[in-house]
Structure 1
Amino acid sequence: MEQKMNRSLTLLPVVLFGFSFMALATVFSTYGVAAQISHGMVTGSYLLALIVMLFTAYSYGQMAKAVPSAGSAYAYTQKSISPHVGFMVGWAILMDYLFIPMVNYLLFGIFFSAAFPAVPSYVWILGLLALVTFVNVKGIRLATMANAFISIASILFILIFIGLSAKDIMGGAGTGTIFNFEPFYNPEQSFSYIVAGAALLCFSFLGFDSATAFAEETINPKKTIPKAVIIITLVGGVIFMSVSYFAHNIWPDFTTFTDPDSAAHEIITFVGGKTLASIFLAVYFCTCFGSAMSSQASASRVLFAMGRDGQLPKFFGKLHHKYQTPINNILLISAVSLLSLVLSLTLVASFINFGAFIAFISVNVGVIVYYFVRKKERSVKGTILYLILPGIGAVLDFWLLLNLDIHSKVLGSIWFSLGLVYLFFLTKGFKQRPPELKLETAE
């Protein structure tokens, strides 16, 4: 019997899943490191990342219309380019989906063990992991309610931070002026620092990609998913730029942070004292929970699509008889996430970068192949929509891929090579076509 998911999601829940995966409040936890890499031009890096991601989000939206499947980038490239390419893209993007929950568990353990030294970090990690797994096994409706609460809490905290920062700046703190171009670009610094910052910060936008993994549980996905990916990307970009802009103006000298990893704590305490810092701790718990939950849910659905299609063992293509969730995959990802007890944050983060850009480039190319080449959409409008726009997106993504650190490139290449070896055996030396995605009609 074919395994199918229930369609229950509308536009708002899909957008909330994207925001939770994006973890809006983590703009604070990455600020110090991003400020160092970009030499204080974090807002400019976010703006460049937003521009690149809008081109790519557009391409994801176009492919969601043609392939309304749970497989996301894997499904899009399989149907537009070839099953072999689709498998390799699915393999690459699994790096992101498998390791992003781990990043959240690691950050949660680091942050809360620092706040409560008497409690070992592994206690925090195991507690959050168990909670996330429970919610995802129970299903989409419970996760949707959790996402709504998390997104609202994050946005409210961000608005409070911006309001208090603006008040202090107008009172003479920091730069003493609300209007300042330096967070975007400082002529005394090289533009290459902005590019390096953007290469790091693009992964703040991964929420739009995760939203496409819920296509088979979305009502009218051909209209809903394209809208959702643009909304998630735009709103996320505006929020990230706003927070980084006011953070720079309230604390303009990034070289004076005691520790770049905890720079956000210094800034928040400076703006709102211990009270705001305590509130941030509560919001950060929600953020880590939401991002881990959404990324685990997305990964389980990509594995489900690949297992159902036969590109992975059928073990991955099973749904829980009662909750209709891919329980085998959820439990497997939880087991993999236990590695967060022994791995470092730097090593785990390095795995994420490479796979994302491989998927982004491939989806942009997929739009060109599917619409411009196969469907022959070659009018002036078609050329702009299906050749020029995705072409720009592919080039920009490749540009940022080249600007990743060496660890990302090495670890990503090793993972990609392992996938190639598996595909070699799956297709008996590339002599057979891999099993292909079977699409249902999306109402």
Structure 2
Amino acid sequence: MSEQPKLKRTLTLWQVIFLGLAWNTPMIYFSVFGVAFEGSNGFLTAAYFIAVLAVLFTGASYAIMAKKIPIAGSAYTFAKKAIHPNAGFLVGWVLLLNYLFAPIIAAITFGIFLNAEFPAVPAYVWIIGLITLLAVIAIRGVSSSANISRLFVILQIIFMVVFCAYLIYGLLGDGGPGSLVSTEPFINVDLSLSVALAGASIVVFSFLGFDTMTTLSEETINPKKTIPKAIFIMIAIVGVLHVGTSYFIQLSHPGFTFTNPDSAALELVSIVGGSLLRSIFITVLIAAIFTQGLASVTSVSRLLYVMGRDSILPKNFFGYIHPKFKTPVINIIIASVISLLAIFISIDDAIRFVNFGALSAFFFVNVCVISLFLKNKEKPRFSHVITNLLCPVIGAAFIAWLLALLDIPTIMGGLLWMAAGSIYLIYLTNGFKLPLPRSTKEKTVSEQNQAI
């Protein structure tokens, strides 16, 4: 009997980082600029700084779990092995909201933006064209996705650096304050903790790419070391870009106002760099949207593959790997077909699903680290208490607070999705009388890794 095709380990550290950055999309800073500016009362620097600190706790939990369980599936796999298979199923089910709707957001944004630039071409034409192109590239292999993602991510980073250079030039030039050092963006009489936290609850969604990285564990060279490093490097890159950009904006344009939150970033770019920078901004933003869509399709196909391989979803379809391309082709096609919903739904609706799914998964990854710590019967070292108990407790508390800040329709929609998953779980387990199907290659956490 021939061996079933497997995912191929080809990804290096920086390829994983660029795929995470591609899903994360550095240029998302400008996409949410207007909403974030209003939500933080203009104090974006403090909001992003708090968001970075909060994300570091959850990122640390992801790094710990990725080292202990270097298997594709992210929060789904972590919860299944660290808590209980049924908990893993529900986490994976709610995580699907995040992964299925992420490429939809990219497609909607792509269609809306290009339709505005070229009104003669309907938005749905751009949407279908993007989805088709993303599917073809994703099918060809994850290395192709990583290489394309690297190019477009570098373009985004270069643009943000150039944008900051324009701001710095204005600060040091005639009419500017002549200084780049100030505490005003962080400490201000009008800045309260509640305002900063409110802003952080919005901008925290600019740091979600590290979950994507853990879906690539089985395609990564030496994942136990590579994935944890990639998580912290990605958070550092995004944190520096977003906090730094916010800092220079607040110094150079402290009284900035805009007419429309959706176009606030475009208004700001036009003021800072005129028509030239505006044209570059539009071009790079298109590339950013494309890159985010490619990373999203790649990630959701891997999550569906793991759930199919475990027979949680029909294995013949979702657990299939193409013998030539070594990619889950059927899953890529399924995700692409679902992405066609971008023609019919609004971006606000899609974002609601992404927010609920991502934050729920983040909460349970912190719980996974706590669970493994409490199950460890050996006397822990003090450093383990800090990294495996205190830090994930702080991370879980912050994520729970963010979940509580979501609006009622979002929470209700997420709970309905979880209810549907619970019904399917009852079916799979025959009313919890049977265990969930299990992959024949699964091992327990203790068999795979010793506690850190």
TM class, shorter-length? over 0.9
| Alignment match, 1:319 | 321
Structure 1 unaligned residues grouped into runs of 5+? none
Q: What pairs with 1:229-268 in structure 2 (closer than 5 Å)? A: 229-254=231-256, 256-268=257-269
| Distance in 1 separating the partners of 2:409 and 2:47 | 21
1:251-297 deviation line (CA, Å, top 9, x unaligned): 3335x201111111011111111111111111111111111111111
| Alignment match, 2:403 | 401
1:21 is the counterpart of 2:7: no
* 1:203 Cα deviation after fit: 1.6
1:289 is the counterpart of 2:290: yes
| Distance in 1 separating the partners of 2:39 and 2:334 | 35
8 Å CA contact retained: 2:26, 2:157:
yes
8 Å CA contact retained: 2:67, 2:224:
yes
- AA in 2 matched with 1:95: L
1:271 is the counterpart of 2:269: no
Q: What pairs with 1:281-360 in structure 2 (closer than 5 Å)? A: 281-314=282-315, 315-360=317-362
1:104-162 deviation line (CA, Å, top 9, x unaligned): 11111222222222322222212211111111011012112101101111111111100
| Alignment match, 1:33 | 35
1:83 is the counterpart of 2:58: no
Q: What pairs with 1:45-124 in structure 2 (closer than 5 Å)? A: 45-124=47-126
8 Å CA contact retained: 2:13, 2:230:
yes
Distance change in 2, residues 1:46/1:52 (3 Å):
same
8 Å CA contact retained: 1:372, 1:382:
no
Distance change in 2, residues 1:300/1:173 (3 Å):
farther
- AA in 2 matched with 1:349: I
1:370 is the counterpart of 2:372: yes
* 1:407 Cα deviation after fit: 2.9
Helix, strand or coil for the counterpart of 1:235?
helix
How many pairs are equivalent? Answer: 442
| Distance in 2 separating the partners of 1:21 and 1:385 | 27
1:195 is the counterpart of 2:190: no
- AA in 2 matched with 1:272: G
* 1:418 Cα deviation after fit: 1.2
| Distance in 1 separating the partners of 2:141 and 2:82 | 30
For residue 156 of structure 2, the aligned residue among 154, 157, 172 is: 154
8 Å CA contact retained: 1:8, 1:217:
yes
8 Å CA contact retained: 1:50, 1:202:
yes
| Distance in 1 separating the partners of 2:175 and 2:114 | 29
1:392 is the counterpart of 2:394: yes
Distance change in 2, residues 1:20/1:95 (3 Å):
same
| Alignment match, 1:418 | 420
8 Å CA contact retained: 1:31, 1:263:
yes
Distance change in 2, residues 1:326/1:193 (3 Å):
same
| Distance in 1 separating the partners of 2:176 and 2:25 | 27
| Distance in 2 separating the partners of 1:47 and 1:383 | 26
Helix, strand or coil for the counterpart of 2:313?
coil
- AA in 2 matched with 1:307: G
* 1:408 Cα deviation after fit: 2.2
| Distance in 2 separating the partners of 1:151 and 1:359 | 25
* 1:62 Cα deviation after fit: 0.7
What TM-score results when the alignment is normalised by the length of structure 1? 0.95
| Distance in 2 separating the partners of 1:31 and 1:327 | 36
* 1:55 Cα deviation after fit: 0.7
| Distance in 1 separating the partners of 2:233 and 2:251 | 27
| Distance in 1 separating the partners of 2:369 and 2:174 | 50
Distance change in 2, residues 1:175/1:426 (3 Å):
farther
Which 10-residue stretch deviates more, 330-339 or 172-181? 172-181
1:18-46 deviation line (CA, Å, top 9, x unaligned): 11011111211111110011111122111
1:334-361 deviation line (CA, Å, top 9, x unaligned): 1111111111111111111111111111
* 1:2 Cα deviation after fit: 4.2
Which 10-residue stretch deviates more, 240-249 or 415-424? 240-249
| Distance in 2 separating the partners of 1:319 and 1:95 | 23
- AA in 2 matched with 1:275: L
8 Å CA contact retained: 1:27, 1:243:
no
* 1:196 Cα deviation after fit: 2.1
What TM-score results when the alignment is normalised by the length of structure 2? 0.93
8 Å CA contact retained: 1:70, 1:214:
yes
| Distance in 1 separating the partners of 2:161 and 2:48 | 18
8 Å CA contact retained: 2:139, 2:332:
yes
Helix, strand or coil for the counterpart of 2:215?
helix
| Distance in 1 separating the partners of 2:186 and 2:165 | 20
* 1:417 Cα deviation after fit: 1.3
* 1:376 Cα deviation after fit: 3.5
State, as a whole percentage, how many aligned pairs show the same letter: 43
Structure 2 unaligned residues grouped into runs of 5+? none
8 Å CA contact retained: 2:5, 2:322:
no
- AA in 1 matched with 2:413: L
- AA in 2 matched with 1:184: F
